[in-house]
């Protein structure tokens, strides 16, 4: 058995024994998949909406929790954010405080894993913010800067800003997102973006 084959088999065993059992109860899911109209892989962040949180379950006798898509990341934007995504995933632990080692599923220049990864609230809110805020930004330095600054949020800060961008109606949500882009990464072509990004990279 080659080293590559052994490594893949070990990862599969780890996934089915350690990672997959956590998925049904996790508040967020990171789905790594493929879309025919987008470069592979495509990352989709989904939030679990519990029965009592649903606004579409009034006529249902026994409503279930559902997963609601909160953002998509792919292509060069994804590649630029990968170091930050790995750091966030590396912090995800189960209820016993043991690391799930999720970063191994997005390691390497070519991500081959396809499936769902369970996330804590902190990781979920942060990824949802990154995925949402990078939309319609062309400068990769600004996107990476947003990712690195969001990663420095506490769980409470990430949850607050996610709520500001998702629960106040289309106009208010859009304004909040636009404001956060400027707060975290300035305006396009701002000469200070490069230096601020370099400083954050040094801090790790």
3-class secondary-structure state, position 69: strand
Q: What does pLDDT average to over the chain? A: 94
CA distance 137 to 187: 10
- Residue 57 confidence (pLDDT): 64
DSSP string, 6-49: HHHHHHHHHIIIIIGGGGGG-SEEEEEE--TTSPSPEEEEEEEE
What average pLDDT score do residues 1-13 get?
Answer: 81
Q: Which residues contact 91 (CB under 8 A, 6 or more apart)?
A: 99, 122, 123
Judge whether residue 3 has pLDDT over 70.
Answer: no
Residues 77-133 pLDDT 10s: 999 999 999 999 999 999 999 999 999 999 977 899 999 999 999 999 999 999 999
DSSP code of residue 99:
B
Average pLDDT over residues 65-73: 95
Percentage of the chain exceeding pLDDT 90: 85
Q: Residue 202 pLDDT > 80, yes or no?
A: yes
pTM exceeds cut of 0.85: yes
Q: Classify 176 as helix, strand or coil.
A: helix
The rounded percent of the chain whose pLDDT value lies above 70 is 96
Q: What is the pLDDT of residues 15-62, one digit of tens each?
A: 999 999 999 999 999 999 999 999 999 999 999 998 777 677 667 676
pLDDT in the model for residue 143: 98
Q: Residue 1's pLDDT is what?
A: 61
């Amino acid at each position: 058995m080659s080293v590559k084959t052994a490594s893949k088999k070990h990862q599969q065993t780890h996934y089915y024994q350690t990672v997959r059992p956590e998925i049904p109860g996790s508040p967020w899911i990171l789905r790594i998949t493929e879309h025919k109209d987008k470069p592979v892989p495509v990352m989709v962040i989904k939030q679990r909406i519990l029965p009592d949180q649903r606004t579409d379950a009034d006529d249902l006798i026994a409503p279930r929790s559902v997963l609601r898509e909160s953002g998509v990341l792919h292509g060069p934007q994804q590649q630029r954010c990968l170091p930050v995504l790995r750091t966030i995933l590396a912090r995800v632990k189960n209820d016993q405080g043991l690391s799930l080692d999720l970063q191994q599923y997005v390691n390497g220049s070519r991500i081959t894993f396809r499936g769902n990864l369970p996330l804590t609230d902190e990781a979920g809110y942060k990824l949802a913010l990154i995925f949402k805020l990078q939309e319609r930004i062309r400068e990769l330095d600004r996107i990476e800067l947003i990712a690195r600054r969001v990663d420095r949020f506490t769980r409470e800060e990430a949850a607050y800003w996610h709520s500001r961008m998702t629960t106040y109606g289309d106009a208010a949500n859009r304004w909040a997102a636009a404001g956060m882009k400027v707060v975290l990464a300035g305006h396009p072509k701002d000469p200070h973006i490069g230096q601020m990004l370099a400083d954050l990279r040094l801090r790790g």
